[in-house]
Structure 1
Amino acid sequence: MTRAAAVGDGPPLDPVLLRILEAAGLPATGRFVPKAGWVSTAWVGDAVVVRLNTDERFRDAYRHEARVVDLLAGSEVPHARHLAHGDGPDGPWAVSERLPGRSLYDAWPTAGLRTRRSTIESLGSALRALHRVAAPADLMPPWLTGALSGGPWPAFHPPVVGATLRQVEAARRQPDHDPRLLADVDAWVRERLALFAADPPVLVHGDLHGSNLIVDRGRVTGLIDFAEAVAQPADVELDTILRWCARAREFPPTPDARGLDETTLAEVPGWLHGAYPELFEREHLRERLNFYDMYGELSLAAHHPLPDGRAAARVRVARLLSGHNHLDGLAW
């Protein structure tokens, strides 16, 4: 996806990377390793990480991320300092400091049991600190704000409790929708909205899985990629984490890669529970998690561009109405 290369003894730097470094006021020195992603291209240097947004639907992602990282200043949340961002001839770009370690996705397969456990316990501490950070109640990525207002829908997470009924209505506008199913879903959602009435919104990452955690020697050195951070109930965080544990193969770092083996993540919910028990202590937690899952499936049923994708989402919606989903059999 990129022509990036190293300086010094290696080939010259990618011209795109050179333009970003110049715009950021940074020297074009050191070694940079290219990395692909879902919606961006990255160059990992000795001291900084440079990213280029390659998906027009997320043009404001780095601006939102910079705002969120500013909120983290002075907190105990492990994260990378945001150094610069802007728009250039090649697209939106951002530069942040490089954290020690590598992604949990890369580190997990060869890590021993003790290292895996201490890593997840460190994640629990990081999440507790994150959920204590003061954030505006209306904090939301610009692309998600636009989608909820009727614009293009570029992604299907994170859950937004107050917008769930809007997803029911959006699903009804699809020509292949199931009227009876959506009538049942509408009633199901209305019956459960009261579960969230007293929840204070807190800062949640919104997309935590193996590729968005940097780890080193059994500890989390940084949560990364805050492009989807929102102000929502704290246990929204569990929606992605437990889905990742149950269906890890669906969370590869790039579209052409493969996610982790779910069996290696079986202990993660229990370790996280031990490190951050209050995240799991909400009354009616299973119903709340089912609600978050329903939001995601409704979004797919309403906005997935392919008929087969919408049909598969409707099957999962029907299964949720009967009380079953990916959480079945997961020790959480």
Structure 2
Amino acid sequence: MCDRSTPFVDEPAADPALLRTLAAAGLSATGRFLPKTGWVSRVWVGDEYVVRLSNGQFRDSFRHEATVTGLLAGSEVPHARHLAHGDGPDGPWCVSERVPGRTLYEVWPTADPHTRRAMIESLGSALRALHRVPVPADLLPPWLTDALAGRPWPAFHPPVVGAALQRVEAARRLPGHDSRLLADVADWIQERLALFADDEPVLVHGDLHGSNVMVDVGQGRVTGLVDFAEALAQPADVELDTILRWCAKAREYPPAPDARGLDETTLTEVPGWLRGAYPELFERERLRERLLFYDMHRELALHAHHPQPGIRDAAQDRIARLLSGRNHLDELAW
């Protein structure tokens, strides 16, 4: 996204796909649009709204986002209002309101420590509001429902506690799998399921990192949480799975394939600032074991479903580390 105070330097809307999408949404093509690249979508940022065209990798992701933003109506969660979505000759499309500001990823490198802390504290307030929004207990993105049922696995995703053992079974279907390791993993999961027995599901964003948080750097506040394609109903501390991984491995979270992630050393204070702003998110009994459980779910999904053998093997190595209680959390002070 771009700061509203920054004038656009590109030409008025001329891309045929953008023009077709605006027409399908019943919106005028007047004004200027800044094209952006993303992982699965083409994006154009206008003065009033943002247009996205998906490559179709995530089934019904825009419809899911419309459902989620509908839940946010009337809440205190800063977010972009959903305007329209559909399917067209260029693929699935979505148009949403443009929220002011720039992404946290864009402003972070030049922000001073005081502003950085203010933005993270504002993020804590936004997350508390999000987790208080009433949500259906079975809310899952349609593409994630497909993946959990054994269909193609399109991307990383937040953990689903009740599906952890299914991921073990999926890994057991791999040719040449390590049966002893997976037996140990199944036992490890069984021993920890009781940690989640009394949890109440809340609305979890599921993919919170620097590119999905809009901020007003001048005021040091969050203006919008964006991209709810992975939002689901899970325990609130599932939110920490991505946030803390982003802090520890920020270089792995660039906004687009050809971009660079942030330097992790600039994020060392983030967990502590977030904890100060939203302490109850960190107060679950045996929090570290819960976070290890969430990480195990992610690594099992990679090991069982990723198309590249090298990435599957690397995930298997991290699974072995998790069984001994070690992962990226060891690199964080929180």
| TM-score normalized by the length of structure 1 | 0.96
Contact 2:52 2:93 in 1 (8 A): yes
Counterpart of 1:230, as a letter, is L
Q: Where do 1:291-310 residues align within 5 Å?
A: 291-310=293-312
Cα pair 2:12 2:32 within 8 Å, conserved = no
Q: CA deviation at 1:11?
A: 6.0
Question: Is residue 181 of structure 1 aligned with residue 181 of structure 2?
Answer: yes
Output the amino acid matched with 2:257: P
Q: Is the Cα–Cα contact under 8 Å of residues 10 and 32 in structure 2 kept in the other structure?
A: no
SS of equivalent to 2:99? coil
Aligned to 1:280: 282
Query: In 2, distance between residues paired with 1:156 and 1:310?
Result: 13
Q: Which letter does structure 2 place at the counterpart of 1:152?
A: P
AA of the residue aligned to 2:117:
R
- Using a 3 Å threshold, how does the CA distance of structure 1 residues 198 and 7 change in structure 2: closer, same or farther? closer
In 2, the alpha carbon distance for the partners of 1:10 and 1:278 equals 48
2:82 alignment partner in structure 1: 82
- Which residue identity lines up with residue 225 of structure 1 in the other structure? D
For 1:295 and 1:183, the matched residues in 2 are separated by: 15
Q: In the TM superposition, what are the counterparts of 1:24-173 in structure 2 within 5 Å?
A: 24-54=25-55, 56-173=56-173
Cα distance in 2 for partners of 1:176, 1:268 equals 41
The verdict on how the C-alpha distance between 1:11 and 1:214 changes in structure 2, with shifts beyond 3 A counting, is: closer
CA deviations on 1:160-185 (whole Å, 9 max, x unpaired) are: 00000000000010113111110100
8 Å CA contact 1:7–1:29 kept in 2: the answer is no
Distance 1:73 1:61, change over 3 A: same
CA distance in 2, matches of 1:244, 1:8: 32
Range that drifts further, 9-18 or 199-208: 9-18
Number of residue pairs aligned between Structure 1 and Structure 2 = 326
Deviation at 1:156, TM superposition (A): 2.7
Distance (whole Å) between structure 2 residues aligned to residue 26 and residue 177 of structure 1: 53
Displacement of 1:157 in angstroms is 1.5
After TM superposition, give the deviation of residue 315 of structure 1 in Å.
Answer: 0.2
* Unmatched runs of 5 consecutive residues or more in structure 2: 1-6
Contact 2:40 2:57 survives alignment (8 Å): no
Task: Give a deviation string over 1:146-201, Cα, whole Å, max 9, x none.
Answer: 11111111123110000000000000101131111101000000000000000000
Larger mean Cα displacement after TM superposition, 282-291 or 171-180: 171-180
Instruction: Show structure 1 runs of 4+ deviating over 2 A.
Output: 6-12
Structure 2 counterpart of 1:52, one-letter code: L
1:192: which partner in 2?
A: 192
Q: Is the 8 A contact 2:206 2:242 kept in 1?
A: yes
Q: Cα RMSD between the aligned structures?
A: 1.4
- CA gap of 1:88–1:329, structure 2 versus 1, over 3 A, is same
- Map 1:2-13 onto structure 2 (within 5 A): 10=11, 13=14
The one of 222, 242, 254 equivalent to 1:240 is 242
Query: What 5-or-longer segments of structure 1 have no aligned partner?
Result: 1-5
Equivalent residue letter for 1:35 = K
Are residues 7 and 203 of structure 1, via their aligned partners in 2, closer, same or farther at CA, if it must alter by over 3 Å? closer
Q: Which residue of 1 aligns with 2:15?
A: 14
Once the two structures are TM-superposed, the CA of residue 62 in structure 1 deviates from its matched residue by 0.3
The structure-2 alpha-carbon separation of the partners of 1:307 and 1:165, relative to structure 1 and needing over 3 Å to count, comes to same
Cα drift, residue 46 of structure 1? 0.6
Distance in 1 of aligned mates of 2:176 and 2:278: 43
Q: Which amino acid in structure 2 is aligned with residue 21 of structure 1?
A: L
1:266 aligns with 2:303: no
Residues 10 and 307 (structure 1), Cα distance of their counterparts in 2 relative to 1, 3 Å cut? closer
Measured after TM superposition, the shift of residue 117 of structure 1 is: 0.3
Q: Report percent identity of matched pairs.
A: 76
Give, in angstroms, the shift of residue 7 of structure 1: 10
The code of the aligned residue for 1:178 comes to D
The equivalent residue for 1:3 is none
